[in-house]
């Protein structure tokens, strides 16, 4: 682990749909953020809307930057024993298990969570329901009582929780705020009265030096924030897990500032309309998941061919087909990078954390406009739904730049697809005087007229113009962490998995293994030079990713012609840090000589 | 294949833990469940004064590491209070509404510190010493060089008093009939023993009945015990060390004979064929005296647990009721008690 | 309007266009349609309508899908977007939302509209997107050289129905009426003046206007929708047709064998732009209501 002199705890709150589990976790993480901690959190809930499905909210609170959730939780709170019992095992030794010790109905042996707590874990039973009922005349505030208890037990300042409760229920009646505050305070008293036996420590977070605004958001929330700061003008969407919350949030935020929001009849119309709007100069976007992206593939080709800026957020889930709608996976890389007909390169950005979602989303429009091409923001369910603290840009750095009107050369027809030095052609927008032209999905000449003979020239133009995107200002298209110079093991990663990769890399470093990790944020065009430099520095390259085929490994080894060791997992859940670490150790011990080719764990090589 | 026999032990003190360990040694197939109100795995309560000697991490007090229970396949149910035992149905109900069935039951629930009846309403102002948490609260609330007021002064309390004196605290002792419990000694003997304590620095109020306890958080030495004659005794914490009262309420439906404790024969079985009892909770038939007697003291308790567990598995061992039970002053001038032997 | 007009030829039309002064709306590219194709009258009709309505060509976007009719944007001097097969309406919707000051004309054929693009029509119609959708319906796939389309007649022999088409054709007018299109009309490529009037009226309508233009494919259909047949079948709507009566429009539309030309239905209701603006005012708390 990294230096963990400060605080680094993970709380898991587990309950049944309807227990307010996710709301409870939400308050917890926001309060922790107010206290000045770094927070990273991930909620798991059932695909079913109603019923008794399991909900878990996991929140990692740390005084130093954390990159992923921990495998083990320090605290488990049960709002529903049936659901929480299978998770007792994730609580570390001398961690805490908090539960209700006054059930309302009899259960058979083993039906109570206390039957499953191992002797090294600390049981904290208290009458959650009774306290809620006494405080609010209702058992519905159990999810708030437990927050008070946690705050009391671990000596967290109550005022931050009260502030969050107040703002969370601000739209409800005052009685709701009052009741929840009462419930919290009652839980707090109960927690303070308990003799603490666990060794979970919450220490004061480090003082925030610059006093910048810290905001707690999910990956999807960060995308929305980025979009809003970039002045998104039109959005077209179709519901699909796990991207839906982007649409829902924009539906709230865009109309008050005059944005155009439309829920379309399908994903094809969503991207089609976004391209239509993008064509008019509107900052237009859509968001979807793998199945929706598959439907959008043809339209993306049109966007590439007709050189129309548009932004597409893709939050991956388990596939193929309908697959695992509520589980995470990184198996749409091929589709995002290559999907569609023809040589249709587009820009694909894969941020690795919530802050990255925010920054990439905010920059995506300008990138799309600069290079006149669709930009795909490729994230996944784990990143979409996990919470992290983000420091948003203080002044709006992402607003659209004022448009410079094109100069029409007298006597010369306007060439929408003029061949230029940087391969980017001056773009006229409909409504602009004298610059009428038609764009098309047919291969076309500089004027936009259908033309087959110019295909090679135009294909080169469409690819070459993107190369500069690697140098787009303010965007780290790749970044190396850990040891510099020559190392034994280099871990190469992308997307949400990079958090686990960093954790594993720092642990390996602590074990004395010389290693570093590199994230690749721009998957298309690929930053080949940076990658080659990294390959040259590393005796061996490990590529962990959440898919079976090793799509990123294929992409990178194809581009560089160099072998990599793959670590592929298609398990529906985030990569396990220990598995990466074990693979790093194996490579380290084995040494580079035996690496005569890519060894696949999972996929056939 | 038949389901393995389920042996349930209520209590995780010396008797209960010794019983569980013994059961497992002779039968590697049976189920063993230990149910305890305690929140920690087994530790010796007689080690609790050690919190004043630096052992404030409970893990330092454990007799075996937590992993031992998994290795021995002993199910440890902590923070679980038994509220009912149905002897006929062989079923236990826990306070949180979980039902646990058993084939054979061993009750080692021990006893809780007795508080003189006229003082029970002041219990909230007094400190206990029956668990690690209670011990730690005393530790936390006693300032350096502070004073602990002990009412009674049974052998558990005397042990703590000696530790406190040794670690720079002061002790005030208000004696009564339970002083030096469970030893039954004469007035003269008691006076002699108290002199030893006084010589060590214990302030002693002899046979003055406390009638009230009060606390004023605003001032140092905030606790005050008022004696019958109006004397006010000041200290930082007030503790009752007046012997143990057996915890037997939950056994009322168990179909067993109860007096003050659970009545058992010398084989430690109760009047119910599937229930045994050991430790501070039981009164054992003494054939010569024709009476049921308590046998306290840490060694006794452990021996009882082990013996009961063997008898649960078919043995017919008899508890040696003529165990030595003495207190005196050693050649070094220090108190000696068989109660403390372990 | 029941006049019998011979097929339109380019040279003649160019003469007329020059004389008329609306040639500026034509691009320098010449149409690639077969001589005699009904689509020539589309170009004619639209440029005529734009001129009559006084819309500046810089403010017009013609959007099309894929098919013979969809080549249209290349032949007018407006902004144009030649999109994908079947996707003209969602793209056109996006364009209108992206810049509501633009006049958006969506153009396509029957395959583009009713086969691959059929799923988009109801939504553009019910939302009342303020654009004009011209569907040139020749009942055949021309660009791919003569396969059956959703409006091909039963018994029609095409390259994909060599043993005769057995599928009952769609009734586009009934579809659009039931989808909630706020302006539904029918014209005939052979009646070009009436067609130009109808395009003008459709474009003048505030909201989603759907104009079906019966249009012969002179190359791949020698038996069904020929000029000869359509000239005989085409008739006007009854004098007393009430274009605000949806049921009456439905009843007329049901008579597919005797295609009536004219405005079947029109309705004044808020457009998507207006609905969105109202939503945004509500969201911003500036709604006077």
Structure confidence at residue A3 (pLDDT):
38
What stretches of A331-428 show up as alpha helix (H) in DSSP? Answer: 333-338, 354-371, 381-385
Determine phi and psi for A472, rounding to 5 degrees. -55, 130
Tell if the CB–CB gap between C283 and A256 is shorter than 8 Å.
Answer: yes
Tell if the CB–CB gap between B66 and A108 is shorter than 8 Å.
Answer: no
Whether residue B310 has pLDDT greater than 60: yes
Residue C2, domain member (yes or no): no
Q: For the domain B6-112+245-312, what is the CATH code?
A: 3.50.50.60
Out of A205-209, A480-484, C269-273, which region has the weakest mean confidence (pLDDT)? A205-209
User: What's the structural domain count of chain C?
Assistant: 1
C-alpha–C-alpha distance, residues B171 and B235, integer Å: 9
A120 contacts in chain B (CB < 8 Å): 65-67
Tell if the CB–CB gap between A442 and C82 is shorter than 8 Å.
Answer: yes
What stretches of A217-283 show up as alpha helix (H) in DSSP? Answer: 219-229, 244-253, 267-279
Q: What is the mean pLDDT of chain C?
A: 91
Q: Which residues contact B69 (CB under 8 A, 6 or more apart)?
A: A118, A119, B41, B75, B76
Identity of the residue in B39, B66, B75 whose CB atom sits nearest the CB atom of A123: B39
Element (H, E) at A433: none
Q: Does C58 touch chain A (CB under 8 A)?
A: yes
Q: C73-84 burial by CB neighbour count: b if 16+ within 10 A, else e?
A: bbbbbbbbbbbb
C-alpha–C-alpha distance, residues C284 and A246, integer Å: 20
* Confidence class for position A50, pLDDT limits 50, 70, 90: low
pLDDT in tens, A136-147: 999 999 999 999
Mean pLDDT of A299-317: 98
**CA distance from start to end of chain A:** 32
Contact in structure between A242 and A267 (CB atoms under 8 Å):
no
C-alpha–C-alpha distance, residues B336 and A319, integer Å: 75
Q: Which domain holds residue A536?
A: 478-594
Determine phi and psi for C53, rounding to 5 degrees. -80, -10
C-alpha–C-alpha distance, residues B302 and A527, integer Å: 72
Residue of chain A with shortest Cα separation from B38: A123
Residue of chain A with shortest Cα separation from B101: A109
Higher pLDDT, A573 or A273: A273
Chains C and B touch (3+ CB pairs under 8 A): no
> Same domain, yes or no, for A272 and A331?
yes
Mean pLDDT of B118-133: 93
Whether residue A234 has pLDDT greater than 70: yes
Q: What is the mean pLDDT of chain B?
A: 92
Identity of the residue in B70, B78, B99 whose CB atom sits nearest the CB atom of A123: B78
Nearest chain A CA: its distance from C157 CA (Å) = 30
Mean pLDDT of B179-199: 92
Contact in structure between C189 and C39 (CB atoms under 8 Å):
yes
C-alpha–C-alpha distance, residues A414 and A426, integer Å: 9
Q: Does B136 touch chain A (CB under 8 A)?
A: yes
- Give me the CATH number covering residue C42: 3.40.50.970
Q: From the CA atom positions of chain A, what is the Rg in Å?
A: 26
C-alpha–C-alpha distance, residues A557 and C240, integer Å: 74
Q: Does C97 touch chain A (CB under 8 A)?
A: yes
Mean pLDDT of C41-70: 90
- Give me the CATH number covering residue A549: 3.40.50.920
> Same domain, yes or no, for A48 and A122?
yes
Residue C289, domain member (yes or no): no
Q: Where are the domains of chain B?
A: 6-112+245-312, 115-242
Whether residue B324 has pLDDT greater than 80: no
Q: How far is CA C75 from CA A108, C48, C152, C209, in A?
A: 80, 14, 27, 22
Percent over 70 (pLDDT), chain C: 91
Mean pLDDT of C202-219: 96
* Confidence class for position A596, pLDDT limits 50, 70, 90: very low
Residue A458, domain member (yes or no): no
> Same domain, yes or no, for A275 and A377?
yes
Q: Which domain holds residue C250?
A: 10-284
* Confidence class for position A603, pLDDT limits 50, 70, 90: very low
Last residue of a domain, one of A338, A362, A390: A390
Q: Does A125 touch chain B (CB under 8 A)?
A: yes
Contact in structure between C187 and C214 (CB atoms under 8 Å):
yes
Task: Select from C40, B62, B242 the least CA-distant residue to A93.
Answer: B62
Nearest chain A CA: its distance from B314 CA (Å) = 26
Which 3 state secondary structure label does DSSP give A444? strand
Q: Does C87 touch chain A (CB under 8 A)?
A: yes
Mean pLDDT of A378-387: 95
Q: Which fold has domain B115-242?
A: FAD/NAD(P)-binding domain (3.50.50)
Which 3 state secondary structure label does DSSP give C260? strand
Task: Select from A380, A381, A346 the least CA-distant residue to A364.
Answer: A346
Chains C and A touch (3+ CB pairs under 8 A): yes
Tell if the CB–CB gap between B39 and A120 is shorter than 8 Å.
Answer: no
Identity of the residue in C83, C96, C285 whose CB atom sits nearest the CB atom of A302: C83
Which 3 state secondary structure label does DSSP give A269? helix
C36: left (phi over 0), alpha (psi -120 to 50) or beta: left
Pairing mode, strands B203-205 and B170-174: parallel
Evaluate the CA torsion angle A581, A586, A587, A591 in order and state its sign: positive
Structure confidence at residue A536 (pLDDT):
96
C-alpha–C-alpha distance, residues A7 and B4, integer Å: 46
Tell if the CB–CB gap between A119 and B59 is shorter than 8 Å.
Answer: no
* Confidence class for position B222, pLDDT limits 50, 70, 90: confident
Nearest chain C CA: its distance from A255 CA (Å) = 4
> Same domain, yes or no, for A27 and A162?
yes
- In a mutational test of the C interface, the residue from A248, A264, A271, A272 whose CB has the highest number of chain C CBs within 10 Å is A272
ipTM, interface predicted TM-score of the complex:
0.92
Which 3 state secondary structure label does DSSP give C5? coil
What is the CB neighbour count within 10 angstroms for residue C58? 18
DSSP 8-state code for residue C22? -
Tally of residues, chain B: 342
Q: Does C98 touch chain A (CB under 8 A)?
A: yes
Structure confidence at residue A4 (pLDDT):
42
Q: Does C99 touch chain A (CB under 8 A)?
A: yes
Task: Select from B87, B144, B111, B130 the least CA-distant residue to B271.
Answer: B87
* Confidence class for position A600, pLDDT limits 50, 70, 90: very low
Task: Select from B162, B173, B240, B242 the least CA-distant residue to B205.
Answer: B173
Percent over 70 (pLDDT), chain A: 95
Identity of the residue in A233, A273, A434 whose CB atom sits nearest the CB atom of C90: A273
Whether residue C273 has pLDDT greater than 90: yes
User: What's the structural domain count of chain A?
Assistant: 3
Q: Which residues contact C77 (CB under 8 A, 6 or more apart)?
A: A436, C24, C25, C26, C27, C28, C57
A433 contacts in chain C (CB < 8 Å): 58
C97 contacts in chain A (CB < 8 Å): 234, 260, 262, 273, 276-277, 282
Nearest chain A CA: its distance from B300 CA (Å) = 26
C253: left (phi over 0), alpha (psi -120 to 50) or beta: alpha
Structure confidence at residue C185 (pLDDT):
98
Whether residue A212 has pLDDT greater than 70: no
Structure confidence at residue A605 (pLDDT):
38
Residue of chain B with shortest Cα separation from A99: B96
Q: What count of CB pairs under 8 Å joins A to C?
A: 152
Q: What is the mean pLDDT of chain A?
A: 92
* Confidence class for position A6, pLDDT limits 50, 70, 90: confident
Which pair of structure tokens corresponds to residue B70? 């998994």
Tell if the CB–CB gap between B76 and A119 is shorter than 8 Å.
Answer: yes
* Confidence class for position C6, pLDDT limits 50, 70, 90: low
pLDDT in tens, A530-561: 999 999 999 999 999 999 999 999 999 999 99
A547: left (phi over 0), alpha (psi -120 to 50) or beta: beta
Structure confidence at residue A462 (pLDDT):
98
Q: What count of CB pairs under 8 Å joins A to B?
A: 73
Task: Select from A17, A14, A12 the least CA-distant residue to A83.
Answer: A14
Structure confidence at residue A49 (pLDDT):
54
Mean pLDDT of A510-532: 97
C-alpha–C-alpha distance, residues A164 and A176, integer Å: 13
Residue A567, domain member (yes or no): yes
User: Best-predicted range by mean pLDDT among A303-317, A394-408, B178-192, B243-257?
Assistant: A303-317
C-alpha–C-alpha distance, residues C49 and C70, integer Å: 18
Contact in structure between A392 and A215 (CB atoms under 8 Å):
yes
Token pair 């004309």 is at which residue? C105
Q: Which residues contact A389 (CB under 8 A, 6 or more apart)?
A: A33, A37, A38, A39, A40, A214, A215, A216
A437 contacts in chain C (CB < 8 Å): 79-80
Structure confidence at residue B325 (pLDDT):
78
Which pair of structure tokens corresponds to residue B268? 């430690």
Determine phi and psi for A257, rounding to 5 degrees. -105, 20
DSSP 8-state code for residue A385? H
Residue A371, domain member (yes or no): yes
Percent over 90 (pLDDT), chain A: 83
Percent over 90 (pLDDT), chain B: 80
* Confidence class for position C20, pLDDT limits 50, 70, 90: low
In three-state form (DSSP H/G/I as H, E/B as E, the rest C), the secondary structure along A38-65 is: EEEEEEECCCCCCCCCEEEEEEEEECCC
- In a mutational test of the A interface, the residue from B51, B76, B98 whose CB has the highest number of chain A CBs within 10 Å is B98
Q: Which chains touch A (3 or more CB pairs under 8 A)?
A: B, C
Max distance between CA atoms of chain B, in angstroms, equals 71
C-alpha–C-alpha distance, residues C8 and C34, integer Å: 11
> Same domain, yes or no, for A168 and A224?
no
pLDDT in tens, B29-84: 999 999 999 999 999 988 999 999 999 999 999 989 999 999 999 999 999 999 99
Residue A401, domain member (yes or no): no
Residue A199, domain member (yes or no): no
Residue A319, domain member (yes or no): yes
Q: Which residues contact A196 (CB under 8 A, 6 or more apart)?
A: A153, A154
Burial of C155 (0-12, 13-18, 19+ CB in 10 A): exposed
Burial of A456 (0-12, 13-18, 19+ CB in 10 A): exposed
Mean pLDDT of C22-41: 77
**CA distance from start to end of chain C:** 47
> Same domain, yes or no, for A31 and A163?
yes
Out of A393-402, A412-421, A518-527, which region has the weakest mean confidence (pLDDT)? A393-402
* Confidence class for position A494, pLDDT limits 50, 70, 90: very high
- Helices A158-168 and A174-192, interaxial angle, to 10°? 160
Nearest chain B CA: its distance from A101 CA (Å) = 5
What is the CA C163 to chain-centroid distance, rounded? Answer: 30
Structure confidence at residue B219 (pLDDT):
64
Nearest chain B CA: its distance from A185 CA (Å) = 22
Q: Does A122 touch chain B (CB under 8 A)?
A: yes
- In a mutational test of the B interface, the residue from A95, A117, A119 whose CB has the highest number of chain B CBs within 10 Å is A119
A124 contacts in chain B (CB < 8 Å): 39, 79
Nearest chain A CA: its distance from C146 CA (Å) = 21
What is the CB neighbour count within 10 angstroms for residue A164? 22
- Helices A158-168 and A21-34, interaxial angle, to 10°? 120
Tell if the CB–CB gap between B69 and A119 is shorter than 8 Å.
Answer: yes
Structure confidence at residue C51 (pLDDT):
87
Residue C4, domain member (yes or no): no
Q: Does A81 touch chain B (CB under 8 A)?
A: no
């Amino acid at each position: 682990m990294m230096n963990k002199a400060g605080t680094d705890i993970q709380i898991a709150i587990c309950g049944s749909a309807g227990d307010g589990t996710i709301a409870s976790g939400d308050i917890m993480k926001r309060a922790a953020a107010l206290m000045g901690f770094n927070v990273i959190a991930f909620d798991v809930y059932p695909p079913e809307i109603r019923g008794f499905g399991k909900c878990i909210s996991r929140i990692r609170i740390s005084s130093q930057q954390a990159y992923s959730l921990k495998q083990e939780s320090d605290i488990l709170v049960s709002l529903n024993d049936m659901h929480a019992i299978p998770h007792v095992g994730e609580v570390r030794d001398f961690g805490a298990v908090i539960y209700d010790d006054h059930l309302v109905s009899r259960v058979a042996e083993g039906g109570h969570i206390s039957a499953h707590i191992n002797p090294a874990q600390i049981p904290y039973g208290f009458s959650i329901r009774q306290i809620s009922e006494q405080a609010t005349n209702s058992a519905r505030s159990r999810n708030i009582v437990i927050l008070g208890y946690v705050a009391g037990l671990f000596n967290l300042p109550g005022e931050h929780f009260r502030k969050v409760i107040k703002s969370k229920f601000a739209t409800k009646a005052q009685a709701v705020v009052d009741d929840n505050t009462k419930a919290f305070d009652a839980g707090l008293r109960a927690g303070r009265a308990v003799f603490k036996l666990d060794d979970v420590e919450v220490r004061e977070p480090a003082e925030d030096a610059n006093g910048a605004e810290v905001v707690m958001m999910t990956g999807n929330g960060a995308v929305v924030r980025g979009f809003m700061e970039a002045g998104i003008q039109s959005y077209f969407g179709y519901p699909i897990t796990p991207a839906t919350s982007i649409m829902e949030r924009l539906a709230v935020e865009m109309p008050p500032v005059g944005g155009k929001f439309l829920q379309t009849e399908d994903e094809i119309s969503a991207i089609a309309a976004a391209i239509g709007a993008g064509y008019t100069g509107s900052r237009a976007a859509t968001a979807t998941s793998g199945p929706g992206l598959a439907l959008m593939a043809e339209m993306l080709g049109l966007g590439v061919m007709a050189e129309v800026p548009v932004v597409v957020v893709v939050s991956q889930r388990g596939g193929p087909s309908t697959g695992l709608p509520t589980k995470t996976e990184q198996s749409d890389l091929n589709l995002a990078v290559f999907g569609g007909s023809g040589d249709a390169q587009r820009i694909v950005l894969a941020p690795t954390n919530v802050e990255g979602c925010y920054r990439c989303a905010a920059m995506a429009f300008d990138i799309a406009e600069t290079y006149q091409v669709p930009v795909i923001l490729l994230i996944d369910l784990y990143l979409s739904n996990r919470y992290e603290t983000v420091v948003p840009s203080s002044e709006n750095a992402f607003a659209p730049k004022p448009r410079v009107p094109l100069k029409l050369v007298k006597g010369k027809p306007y060439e929408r697809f003029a061949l230029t030095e940087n391969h980017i052609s001056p773009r006229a927008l409909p409504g602009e005087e004298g610059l009428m032209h038609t764009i098309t999905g047919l291969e076309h000449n500089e004027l936009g007229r259908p033309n087959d003979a110019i295909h090679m020239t135009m294909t080169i133009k469409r690819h070459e113009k993107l190369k500069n995107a690697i140098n787009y200002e303010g965007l780290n298209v790749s970044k190396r962490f850990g040891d510099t110079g020559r190392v034994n093991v280099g871990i190469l990663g992308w997307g949400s998995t990079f958090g686990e990769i960093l954790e594993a890399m720092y642990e390996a470093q602590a074990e004395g293994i010389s290693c570093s990790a590199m994230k690749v944020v721009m998957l298309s065009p690929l930053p080949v030079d940076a990658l080659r430099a990294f390959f040259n520095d590393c005796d061996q390259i490990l590529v962990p990713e959440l898919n079976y085929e090793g799509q990123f490994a294929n992409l990178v080894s194809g581009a560089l012609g160099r072998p990599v060791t793959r670590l592929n997992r298609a398990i529906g859940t985030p990569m396990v840090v220990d598995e990466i670490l074990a693979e790093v150790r194996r490579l380290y011990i084995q040494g580079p000589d035996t690496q005569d080719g890519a060894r696949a764990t999972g996929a056939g090589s | 294949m038949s389901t393995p026999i389920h042996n349930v032990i209520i209590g995780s003190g010396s008797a209960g833990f010794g019983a569980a360990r013994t059961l497992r040694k002779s039968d590697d197939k049976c189920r063993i469940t230990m149910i305890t109100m305690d929140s920690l795995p087994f530790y010796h309560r007689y080690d609790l004064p050690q919190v004043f000697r630096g052992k404030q991490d409970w893990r330092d007090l454990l007799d075996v590491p937590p992993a031992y229970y998994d290795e021995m396949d002993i199910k440890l149910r902590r923070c679980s209070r038994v509220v009912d035992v149905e002897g006929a149905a062989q079923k236990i109900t826990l306070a949180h509404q979980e039902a646990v069935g058993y084939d054979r039951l061993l009750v080692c629930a021990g006893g809780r510190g007795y508080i003189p009846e006229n003082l029970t309403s002041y219990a909230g102002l007094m400190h206990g010493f029956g668990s690690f948490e209670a011990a730690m609260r005393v530790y936390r609330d006693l300032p350096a060089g502070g004073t602990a007021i002990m009412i009674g002064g049974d052998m558990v309390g005397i042990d703590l008093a000696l530790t406190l004196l040794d670690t720079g605290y002061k002790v005030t002792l208000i004696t009564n009939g339970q002083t030096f419990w469970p030893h039954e000694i004469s007035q003269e003997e008691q006076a002699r023993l108290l002199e030893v304590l006084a010589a060590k620095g214990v302030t002693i109020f002899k046979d003055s009945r406390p009638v009230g306890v009060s606390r004023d958080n605003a001032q140092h030495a905030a606790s005050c015990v008022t004696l019958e004659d109006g004397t006010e005794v000041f200290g930082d914490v007030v503790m009752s060390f007046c012997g143990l009262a057996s915890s037997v309420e939950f056994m009322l439906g168990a179909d067993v004979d109860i007096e003050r404790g659970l009545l058992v024969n010398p084989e430690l079985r109760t009047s119910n064929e599937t229930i045994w009892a050991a430790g501070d909770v039981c009164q054992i038939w003494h054939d010569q005296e024709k009476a049921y007697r308590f046998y306290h003291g840490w060694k006794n308790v452990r021996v009882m647990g082990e013996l009961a567990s063997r008898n649960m598995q078919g043995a017919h061992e008899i508890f040696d009721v003529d165990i030595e039970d003495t207190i005196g002053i050693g050649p070094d001038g220090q108190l000696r008690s068989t109660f403390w032997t372990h | 309007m029941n006049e019998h007009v011979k097929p339109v030829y380019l040279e003649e039309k160019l003469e007329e266009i020059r004389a008329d002064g609306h040639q500026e709306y034509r691009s320098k590219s010449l149409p690639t349609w077969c001589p005699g194709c009904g689509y020539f009258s589309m170009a004619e009709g639209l440029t005529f309508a734009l001129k009559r309505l006084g819309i500046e060509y810089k403010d017009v976007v013609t959007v099309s899908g894929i098919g013979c009719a969809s080549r249209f944007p290349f032949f007018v001097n407006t902004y144009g977007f030649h999109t994908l097969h079947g996707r003209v309406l969602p793209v056109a919707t996006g364009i209108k939302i992206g810049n509501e000051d633009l006049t958006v004309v969506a153009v396509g054929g029957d395959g583009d509209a009713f086969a691959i693009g059929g799923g988009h029509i109801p939504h553009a119609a019910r939302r009342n997107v303020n654009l004009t959708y011209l569907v040139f319906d020749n009942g055949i796939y021309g660009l791919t050289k003569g396969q059956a389309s959703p409006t091909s007649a039963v018994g029609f022999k095409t390259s994909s129905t060599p043993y005769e088409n057995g599928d009952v054709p769609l009734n586009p007018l009934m579809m659009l009426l039931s989808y909630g299109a706020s302006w539904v009309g029918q014209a005939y490529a052979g009646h070009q003046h009436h067609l130009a009037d109808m395009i003008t009226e459709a474009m003048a309508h505030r909201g989603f206007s759907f104009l079906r233009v019966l249009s012969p494919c002179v190359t791949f259909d020698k038996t069904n929708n020929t000029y000869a047949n359509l000239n005989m079948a085409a008739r006007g709507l009854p004098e007393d047709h009430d274009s605000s009566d949806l049921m009456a429009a439905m009843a007329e539309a049901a008579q597919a064998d005797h295609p009536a030309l004219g405005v079947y239905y029109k309705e004044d209701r808020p457009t998507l732009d207006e609905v969105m603006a109202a939503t945004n005012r509500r969201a911003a708390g500036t709604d006077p209501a």
